[in-house]
Amino acid sequence: MVWEALLREGVRVIFGHPGGAILPTYDALAPYEAAGKIHHVLVRHEQCAAHMADGWARATGEVGVCIATSGPGATNLVTGLATAQMDSVPVVAITGQVPTNLLGTDAFQESDVVGVTAPVCKHNYLVTDVNELPLILKEAFYIAREGRPGVVLIDICKDVQNAEGWFRYDFEIDLPGFEPWPQVDMEAVRKAAELINKAERPLVLSGHGVQLAGVGRELLQMVEKAEIPVVTTLLGAGNIPESHPLSLGMGGMHGEAYANRAVQSCDVLIAMGMRFDDRITGRLDAFAKQAKIIHFEVDKAEVGKNVMPDVAVIGDLAETLPALLPLIEERRHQVWLQEIREWKKDTEQTDILNYEVDELIPPFVIRQLWHATHNAKNGPPIIVTDVGQHQMWECQYFTHDHPGQLITSGGLGTMGFALPAAIGAQMAHPDRLVWAVVGDGGFQMTMQELAVIKQEGDLPVKIAIINNGFLGMVRQWQQLFYEKRYVGTPVWSPDFVKLAEAYQIPALAVTKPEQVVPALEQALNTPGPFLIDFRVKEEVNVYPMVAPGAAVDQLIRRPKPAVMQGYSGVQPSW
């Protein structure tokens, strides 16, 4: 029944790890695998099954599916599920459970999976009756997909897996308590348009919701029509092309100073598909004080949770944004944009991009990665990052010109995400270029999944390890806020090149700036996977930075003196 339902939901690939309590379901997969209808990817740790399903879902917009056994299998999933749920990614997880007659007896490999996962799921089910299974499967996919996407887990008792029952799938979903697409209030749209049309210093702050609703193009139309600059959240990267003059890139904790200043001095803030996370707002009571705030959001519970908007436009952005567009007047905001350009000039003077380097520093590596890949065949490259300094540098120095091009764990900030999520994304798009950009710390959390790259027939995933010998982001905090007491942050690593060799994956180590370009070329010209160990300078910090608890325009800027030494006033070749 599980597989019949999955077929009807259009699922082609699932990620999982078998075990006793899920064995009947695995056994029933055999004919579907043999017929090439559903392919199972064996992971090396269940957390990565969830990350792969997550990567798949983010890269396709379809529901990703992962599967695990009871007890330890299911508890191993939790981190991956929480990661997907926090970032509104549609994932369905299927787990085996002990037989119904053993429920609650602390049976072998029993754990209360529904209880454990409830706080990190949109919804979850324990199935104790085979007759309910088809409807539950259909509901699960419906709930995961509709409205603000999320995670749904189905825990199936082993005797239910072995039972026989009638299968049907033509149910009408009847969930009176589930309102995925709230009715759009046109009056609110009109009010929003009125505010926007009157604004002298408008600003769009756009998030993941824009990608989930697939309205990047409409957003661009709107901001071009009324000349409104755009700041994005981490997950909103590429909502409008970052090379567009109206794009100010990412805001928040590691956003550029001019982006954060724009947020703090706009008169109308148009928040779209974002939830005012503390990493974007900084100190809440000092956030965008002078601005009227308009919040476009599909999840009612996000409205007024952190920031109380002046106008709330509740509903699907794919409905509200096209409704808003004709109401927006053509406007020019040259004074406002000129002001931002001045701030930007100030930033450029200290930007590491603007001086020549003789050491291997991460921003340089990322910039070269952009140069080497942004014109890739078969569509824009998908960059999957892990969590830490390298993640922030990727955001700052890679120019995302396409929505959905960056896949990263924003809400939960899960180290170990990059490699498995990149595998999931690559499985979804075998022809596209997929790069995992990952720290030496995070890579060691899930590097066992290199085996999956091989077992799945040399998936062409390219891996860039930004190897700085530290849990860099934490070290940075220790340096800035704990007087450089580096407790627990120096991290020893194996020789990643040899490690890759052990997995029969070609690899290179890079220690000097001039080796970067040839190494990237070699990686791109080698069919199949490739790993580059960038042994970068240690103890480099991510700037600018908003200290936790500070207002977003209270930034620690890039230190001037060191940078200015090499500043020639002209854009260097890189």
Ligand X SMILES: Cc1ncc(C[n+]2csc(CCOP(=O)(O)OP(=O)(O)O)c2C)c(N)n1
Question: Residue numbers of the site for ligand X (CB under 6 A)?
Answer: 386-390, 413-416, 439-442, 466, 468, 470-474
Taking CA atoms, 391 is separated from 60, 340, 362, in Å, by: 22, 25, 10
Q: What are phi and psi of 427, to 5 degrees?
A: -60, -35
In angstroms, give the least distance from the CB of 108 to ligand X.
29
Give the number of other CB atoms < 10 A from CB of residue 12: 15
**534 in Cβ contact with 525 (< 8 Å):** no
What residues are paired with 463 via a beta bridge?
436, 531
Between 158 and 390, whose beta carbon lies closer to Mg ion? 390
Binding site partner of 135, from Mg ion, another protein, ligand X, none, Cβ cut-off 5-8 A by kind: another protein
Q: 66 vs 412, which CB is nearer to ligand X?
A: 412
Nearer to another protein, 305 or 512 (CB): 305
Least CB distance from residue 542 to ligand X, whole Å? 8
Q: Which residue is nearest to ligand X (CB)?
A: 439
Find, among 29, 70, 67, the residue nearest to 48 by Cα. Answer: 67
Residue (177 or 569) nearer to another protein, CB: 177
The distance of closest approach from Cβ of residue 285 to another protein in the complex, given in angstroms and rounded to an integer, is 14
Catalytic (active site) residue 565: no
**46 part of the active site:** yes
Q: From ligand X, another protein, Mg ion, none, which one binds at residue 474 (CB under 5 to 8 Å depending on kind)?
A: ligand X
DSSP 112: -
Which runs of E-coded beta strand occur in 318-409? Answer: 382-385, 406-407
- Asked if 439 touches Mg ion (CB under 5 A), the answer is yes
Closest CA to 464 of 504, 430, 426, 418: 418
- Point out which residues pair with 294 in neighbouring strands: 270, 311
User: 3-state SS string over 20-65?
Assistant: HHHHHHHHHHHHHHHCCCCEEEECCCHHHHHHHHHHHHHHHCCCEE
**Residue of 33, 108, 345, 539 with catalytic role:** 108
Q: Which of 381, 472, 513, 529 binds Mg ion (CB under 5 A)?
A: 472
**Cα(56)–Cα(424) distance, integer angstroms:** 4
> Hey, how many other C-beta atoms are within 10 angstroms of the C-beta on 503?
17
557 binds, among another protein, ligand X, Mg ion, none (CB under 5 to 8 A by kind): none
Report the residue number, 54 or 440, with the smaller CB distance to Mg ion. Answer: 440
Give min distance, CB of 34 to another protein, in A: 16
What is the smallest separation between the CB atom of 304 and another protein, expressed in angstroms?
6
Q: Which residue sits closest to Mg ion, CB atoms considered? A: 439
**In the annotation, is 158 catalytic?**
yes
Give the residue with the Cβ less far from ligand X, 100 or 479: 479
* Residue 440 engages Mg ion in binding (rule: CB under 5 A): yes
The catalytically annotated residue of 122, 158, 344, 462 is 158
Contact 58, 403 (CB under 8 A): no
Element (H, E) at 95: strand 91-97
**Which of 473, 476, 478, 496 is labelled catalytic?**
473
Q: Which does 442 bind (CB under 5 to 8 A by kind): Mg ion, another protein, ligand X, none?
A: ligand X
Q: The tokens of 387 are what?
A: 């969590």
Residue whose pair of structure tokens reads 């790259």 in the numeric block:
453
382 to 421: interface string for Mg ion, x by CB under 5 A: ----------------------------------------
Length of the chain: 574
Which two three-digit tokens encode residue 60?
């396709």
Contact range with Mg ion by CB under 5 A, out of 63-71, 201-209, 433-441, 537-545: 433-441
Beta strands in 175-289 (DSSP E): 202-206, 230-232, 247-250, 268-272
- Alpha carbon 467 to its chain's center: 22
HEC sequence for 495-547 = CHHHHHHHCCCCEEEECCHHHHHHHHHHHHHCCCCEEEEEECCCCCCCCCEEC
Active-site residue, selected from the candidate residues 4, 109, 178, 349: 109
Q: Which is nearer to ligand X, 81 or 262 (CB)?
A: 81
Tell me which of ligand X, Mg ion, another protein, none is bound by residue 413, counting a contact when its beta carbon lies within the kind-specific cut-off of 5 to 8 angstroms: ligand X
Task: Closer to another protein by CB, 12 or 300: give it.
Answer: 300
Residues contacting residue 172 through CB under 8 Å, at least 6 positions apart? none
Which residues sit at the interface with another protein, rule CB under 8 A? 1-4, 24-25, 28, 114-115, 118-119, 122-123, 126, 131-136, 143, 156, 160-171, 174-179, 299-301, 303-305, 308
Residue 168's binding partner among ligand X, Mg ion, another protein, none (Cβ under 5 to 8 angstroms by kind) is another protein
Question: Closest CB to another protein among 180 and 528?
Answer: 180
Q: Would you call 389 a catalytic residue per the annotation?
A: no
**Shortest distance, CB of residue 544 to ligand X, whole angstroms?**
16
CA distance 149 to 84: 9
Judged by CB under 5 A, which stretch of 14-22, 229-237, 443-451, 470-478 contacts Mg ion? 470-478
Could you list the active site residues?
A: 46, 108-109, 158, 473
Chain contacts with Mg ion (rule: CB under 5 A) = 439-441, 468, 472
